[in-house]
Amino acid sequence: MTETLKTKNVFLTGGAQGLGKSYLDGLLAKGARVVFSDIDPTAGAATEQELAEKYGKDNVRFLQCDVTDGSKFEAAFQTSVDHLGYVDLMVNNAGIMNESVWEKMIQLNYTGVVRGTLLAYEHMRKDKGGRGGRIVNISSELGLREFPTVPVYCGTKHAVRAFTTSLAMAPGVKQLGLEYGVLCPGPADTDLIRKIDETRIRHISLVPPEKVAELISSVERMQTAFMKLVQLDDMNGAILYVPRDQMNFCKMERVNLGENWPVAEEADTTNNRSPQLPAVVVFLDNSNLTDVLDLTNVLDLTDVLDLTIDVLDLTDVLDLTDILDLTDVLDLTNVLDLTDVLDLTDVLDLTNVLDLTDVLDLTNVLDLTDVLDLTDILDLTDVLDLTNVLDLTDVSSHPEGTQNYSVNHRCLEAGRCFVIDISINFL
């Protein structure tokens, strides 16, 4: 159906009114020939006449049928094959939303879809003389999530979605020439939504009229989504999700929540708010994965792992200005060996000098800031004041002769201890 719908034949269930009727209109506008069924003979006949006047009576035919009756459904499908010659596209659209008749709803919404799918499957499969085709099953937005007001309806629509996508994953599906797609429309402006009351749904306080009005999409928008799905180049396995503000392809994923089940919040009936349940839908934009998994409702990562604040704040854990292994950075015996830097026998022959304080101003001979600028390695201004380590005024009147003078000084500052041992030979 990638090239055109003009040569395609369609059988659609539940087409007398609502979204089914709009799907028929979209298909006929593209040149397809259609046969549709509905349980309501009056509405069906009226729709047939309307569409025949618009698109030609040879292109549309109505068959009255209850899809919950297996034999009648099979007969209607065969009639459509006889009329059209072949069915290229099967659309299982018939369904209701009425929790008060839940058994009928299961038969119609799910069993009818399964039966229609299998009828088309046997007709289309290439290994038994068919020429392939497409099967589109109508699920719902509630086939992708849960909602407490319509639990049975949700169950049927989840079943439709899972059933269809499971068939799409079957081995050999391409060899059979079959493709499966699912449409998941949100609430639309049809009787299905307009006629909601306390007999059809539970906990009606959760869906007041003003809230419903905010969620409803136009029938035309749903028709656009349907036509987008059936005209995909490769439709097999596609799920098109169409709430009011989106039209995205998606797929279901299993979410691992760990060993402990996260408690879902209770429904807030005072604010008419439904509970927020774990999301397990992956949305795709034009069949490309954009949002892999929305864990915001499943697991609040800010509570579990906040790398910026709670788990690892590097500014608190590792401040390189505070952490310095002085044994690696400053080994005073390697950095400053005064016996190598200043051999006083080369600078001054002390045998000819009596008063070292007059002859030798060590601040001029040895400017430690030139020999070793310790400020780049370690700021020793608070730790080590060299003026306290070696005060040469104590040796200014050393007696002549070869003598040895040792200074052993301990500096204890801010919890750090340095020992400097300087030996000077006098001649």
Contacts of 395 (CB under 8 A, 6+ apart): 356, 405, 424, 426
Class of domain 9-302: alpha beta
When the pLDDT of each residue in the chain is averaged and rounded to a whole number, the result is 74
pTM of the model: 0.63
Determine how many CB atoms are found less than 10 A away from the CB of residue 220: 13
Q: Residues 356-402: pLDDT tens digits?
A: 444 345 444 445 444 445 444 444 344 444 444 444 444 444 444 44
What is the structure's pLDDT at 19?
95
Q: Single out the catalytic residue among 55, 121, 153, 241.
A: 153
| First vs last C-alpha separation in the chain | 109
Q: Residues 234-277: pLDDT tens digits?
A: 999 999 999 888 899 998 887 888 898 877 555 454 444 444 44
Q: What are phi and psi of 124, to 5 degrees?
A: -90, -25
pLDDT at 57 over 90: yes
What is the structure's pLDDT at 281?
58
Q: Residues 133-144: pLDDT tens digits?
A: 999 999 999 999
What is the structure's pLDDT at 20?
96
**pLDDT tier at 108, thresholds 50, 70, 90:** very high
What is the structure's pLDDT at 282?
59
What is the structure's pLDDT at 1?
58
Domain residue ranges in the chain: 9-302, 326-426
**By the 8 A CB rule, do 132 and 124 touch?**
yes
What is the structure's pLDDT at 171?
95
What is the structure's pLDDT at 313?
43
pLDDT at 3 over 70: no
Q: What are phi and psi of 181, to 5 degrees?
A: -140, 155
What is the structure's pLDDT at 293?
36
Nearest of 118, 228, 113 to residue 178 by alpha carbon: 118
180 is catalytic: no
What is the structure's pLDDT at 266?
55
What is the structure's pLDDT at 284?
60
What integer is the mean pLDDT of 321-331?
Answer: 43
What is the structure's pLDDT at 9?
98
Q: What are phi and psi of 81, to 5 degrees?
A: -65, -45
Separation of alpha carbons 187 and 182, rounded Å: 16
- Is 189 buried (19+), middle (13-18) or exposed (0-12) by CB count in 10 A? middle
What integer is the mean pLDDT of 122-128?
Answer: 98
pLDDT at 51 over 70: yes
Q: Of residues 186 and 229, which shows the higher confidence score?
A: 229
DSSP one-letter string for 354-415: S-HHHH--HHHH--HHHH--TTTT--TTTT--HHHH--GGGGTTPPSSSEEEEEEEEEEETT
- Name residue, tokens 């072949």: 86
